[in-house]
Amino acid sequence: MLNPRLFFWQRKMVWQANKSSIQVMGILNITPDSFSDGGRFQGSEAALRHVEQMLAEGADIVDVGGESTRPGSEQVPVQAELERVVPIIAAIRERFDTVVSVDTSKPEVMLAAVEAGAGLVNDVCALREPGALEICARMSVPICLMHMQGQPRTMQRAPHYEDIVGDISCFFSERIVACEQAGIARDRLILDPGFGFGKTLQHNVNLLSRLDEFSVFGLPILVGVSRKSMIGALLGGRPVDGRLHGSVAAGVIAAMKGANILRVHDVGATVDAVKLMNAVMNEEQRG
C-alpha cells in the first residue's frame, strides 16, 4: 500500500515538526447534521466543487468525515459511514492531486478509506476502538491521534483535569506506546490535543496558551479550533457564522505556538494569515 507521494509527504511532516512551516487541512463534512455546513455537501458534485475551492485557496490536505463528533452527537452505523465517505474519497483522489485524510474512529472505515486513496487517518479516539490499532499497523499512512476526555455524546458534562497539559501528555505517551507495540512506527504519528473535546472554555484557553509544551514529543501537532464554541464564547456568544476572524486568530496563535497542521473550515483566510505569520517568523530567524 506504499504510495511514493504519501511517503514523501509523511517525511515532510516529520521534518516540519521541527520547522515553522504550516499545513492547512480543509474540512469536508459529509454529514446531514454538520454544525458548520448544514449537510450542504452531500451531493458529490457539490462536495467536489467545495474541495476544488479549498485547494484553489491553498489547502494542503482535505479531511473527509462522515460522522459528526460535535458534543451530543450520535454514532453512525459502519455501513452508513462507509457509504458517505468512501465514494467521495475515491472521487477526490481521481480528480485532484492532494492528500486526503479520513476522519473516522472505525477500523472498517479506515481500511476502506485508505484503499480508496486516503493518505492520512484522523482519529478523534486515537485508535482506542477495538481493531483500530491492528488495522493501522497493516497500513503505511500517517495517523493523527487526538485527545478526547469521554465520548462525544457526554464529553462536555463535567470535564476535569489535574493539569491539562500534563494529563494530555500522559495520554499521548500511553497512545504512542500502544501504537508502537501494535507495530505502528512512531514517525507515522501526529498529535492533537483535541480542542473542545471534553474541555471547558478555561481548559481550551489554557491549552492554547501552553501548546508549545507538546513539542517535547518531537512529532507534528495538529490543531482544530475553527468555528468551535470556544471561539464563540470568547467573542461574547457569537453564533457559528460569526466566528471566522476569531478562528483565524486562534489558528495563527496555535501556529505560533508550534502547531504544524491547522484543521479549518475557512481555508483562504487561514492560508493568508499563515503566510503573514511565516514572513514575520522567517524574518525573525534571519535577524
Minimum CB separation from ligand 9MG for residue 18, in Å?
Answer: 21
Query: Residue 148 CA to chain centroid, in angstroms?
Result: 13
Handedness of CA 13, 17, 19, 25 (dihedral sign): positive
Q: Which stretch binds ligand 9MG (CB under 6 A): 1-9, 44-52, 74-82, 187-195?
A: 187-195
Size of the site for ligand 9MG (CB under 6 A): 13
Residue 199 is given by DSSP the state -
Q: Smallest distance from the beta carbon of 183 to ligand 9MG, in angstroms?
A: 22
C-beta of 127: minimal distance to ligand 9MG in Å?
13
Q: Which of the residues 188, 227, 243, 263 is marked catalytic?
A: 263
Beta bridge partners of 192: 146
Give the whole-angstrom CA distance, residue 127 versus residue 145: 7
Under the binding rule (CB under 6 A), the answer on residue 122 touching ligand 9MG is yes
Q: Which helix (H) or strand (E) holds 65?
A: strand 61-65
Angle at 107 between CA 105 and CA 108, to 5 degrees: 120
- Is 228 tagged catalytic? yes
Report the residue number whose CB is nearest to ligand 9MG: 224
In 3D space, the residue among 119, 118, 169, 86 whose CA is nearest the CA of residue 13 turns out to be 119
- Interface map 44-83 toward ligand 9MG (x if CB under 6 A): ---------------------x---x--------------
- Which positions ≥6 away from 76 have C-beta within 8 Å? 31, 66, 67, 84
Tell me which stretch binds ligand 9MG (CB under 6 A): 52-60, 83-91, 92-100, 192-200: 192-200
Interface with ligand 9MG, residue 149, by CB under 6 A? no
The site for ligand 9MG (CB under 6 A) is made up of 65, 69, 103, 122, 124, 144, 146, 192, 194-195, 222, 224, 263
Catalytic residues: 228, 263
